[in-house]
Amino acid sequence: MKKAVVFGAGGFIGSHWVEYLKAKGFWVLAVDRKHPAYFTSSADQFILTDLRDKAAMKSLWIKEATLYQFAADMGGAGYVFTGDNDAEVMTNSAQINTNTLRLSIELGIESLFFASSACIYPRHLQRHGQDPYLKEDDAYPAHPDSDYGWEKLFAERMYMGVQRNYGIPCRIARFHNVYGPCGIYEGGKEKAVAALCRKVALAENGDSIEVWGDGHQQRSFLFIEDCLEGIWRLMKASNVERPLNIGSSEMVSINDLAKLIIKQSNKALTLRHIDGPVGVDARSSDNTLAEETIKWQPTVSLKEGVKATYLWISEVMKEEA
């Protein structure tokens, strides 16, 4: 039986990836500081530990496995773009990645996967009037718009360096705003889709919901099922030794995203714009390389994905009320 180790298995993508691997017949060791928030993991073994502790990481190492590294100090715009959490975001994530790579070199590992982010792309390419569809080569000259993006970009270089110097196969996915059921929707680290779904679910007919900034900022959002399929195809590919976009090219303004969620709710709501961190003006994923190399492209439309996500969040909130 094939073995996999999943770091960050209590988080959104990592927890879903554990379930995906189990459905594929893998034996899975899941590792995180927390269990998944909304369901019980199917992992064969789930260890609660702090991956910043190299000795703790070493004690659970399985060299005859593929290691998937999703663990990071991260969150939505309210956490990443204020600047208040930069030191923690960078040092915590860098420590986890350094430990992962040092032990891969010292103890051996079959192969590695690293979850990177579209936040690595330069801010000057993400202004209104620019082509928002970012290709992998657009990462350089580098100028991410947040320290979270800088850390992810540096980590990419570390993983590629280990692949180049030590021959350990590494695959890197640059995720573009992954969303879906079973993701956090409150507490300050939630992202745009989940945050707006929560606001709409809480609102009564005739209310207004808050939108940060003017709402004209544009993004693409990738449904979790498409994300998992992209990871699977990337890991099976033998010819992709560079970071690869895993995102949707279906772009939408935050205003229109909010209106789409409101429509799903069947409520009469309006938007109320307030000051808040908004990130770059416009960003979407150019999936040409993914289509060419791993024959992957998203299949779930934003409308379908938002419907599934809103229904899940609204039901959970009713149960918790």
Model confidence pLDDT, tens digit, residues 12-51: 999 999 999 999 999 999 999 999 999 999 999 999 999 9
pLDDT, average across residues 271-289:
95
Q: What is the pLDDT of residue 277?
A: 86
In angstroms, rounded to a whole number, what is the distance separating the alpha carbons of residues 153 and 156?
Answer: 5
pLDDT at 115 over 80: yes
pLDDT, average across residues 199-224:
97
SS3 letters across 111-152: EEEEEEEHHHCCHHHCCCCCCCEECHHHHCCCCCCCHHHHHH
Strand, helix or coil for residue 210: strand
pLDDT at 291 over 90: yes
Q: What is the pLDDT of residue 22?
A: 99
Q: Give the end-to-end CA distance of the chain in Å, rounded to a whole number.
A: 43
Q: What is the pLDDT of residue 238?
A: 85
Q: What is the pLDDT of residue 181?
A: 98
61's CB contacts (< 8 A; 6+ apart) are 103, 107
**Which of 184-192's residues contact partners 24+ apart within 8 Å by CB, and which partners?**
184/12, 184/37, 185/313, 185/316, 188/75, 188/78, 188/79, 189/74, 189/75, 189/76, 189/78, 189/79, 190/75, 190/76, 191/75, 191/76, 191/77, 192/76, 192/77, 192/219, 192/221, 192/254, 192/257
Which value, in Å, is the radius of gyration of the alpha carbons in the chain? 19
Known catalytic residue at 185: no
In contact, 182 and 96? CB cutoff 8 Å: no
In contact, 29 and 65? CB cutoff 8 Å: yes
Q: What is the pLDDT of residue 278?
A: 87
What are 213-254's pLDDT values in tens digits? 999 999 999 999 999 999 999 999 988 999 999 999 999 999
CATH superfamily of 3-178+222-246: NAD(P)-binding Rossmann-like Domain (3.40.50.720)
In contact, 74 and 30? CB cutoff 8 Å: no
pLDDT at 148 over 90: yes
Q: What is the pLDDT of residue 315?
A: 96
Q: What is the pLDDT of residue 303?
A: 98
Residue closest to 31 by CA, chosen among 65, 56, 2: 56
Q: What is the CATH number of domain 181-219+250-283+300-320?
A: 3.90.25.10
Residue with tokens 């699977």: 232
In contact, 181 and 309? CB cutoff 8 Å: yes
In contact, 55 and 32? CB cutoff 8 Å: no
Report the chain's mean pLDDT, rounded to a whole number: 96
pLDDT at 173 over 90: yes
What are 55-113's pLDDT values in tens digits? 999 999 999 999 999 999 988 778 887 889 999 999 999 999 999 999 999 999 999 99
Task: Quote the pTM value.
Answer: 0.96
Identified catalytic residue from 79, 148, 179, 310: 148
Residue ranges in the chain assigned as alpha helix (H): 12-23, 54-59, 77-80, 86-107, 147-166, 192-202, 224-236, 254-265, 288-293, 302-320
Q: What is the pLDDT of residue 308?
A: 98
Q: Where are the domains of the chain?
A: 3-178+222-246, 181-219+250-283+300-320
Strand, helix or coil for residue 219: strand
pLDDT, average across residues 140-149:
96
pLDDT, average across residues 204-215:
96
Residue closest to 246 by CA, chosen among 210, 298, 193, 283: 298
- The proportion of the chain whose per-residue pLDDT surpasses 90, expressed as a percent, equals 91
The amino acid at 224: I
- The proportion of the chain whose per-residue pLDDT surpasses 70, expressed as a percent, equals 100
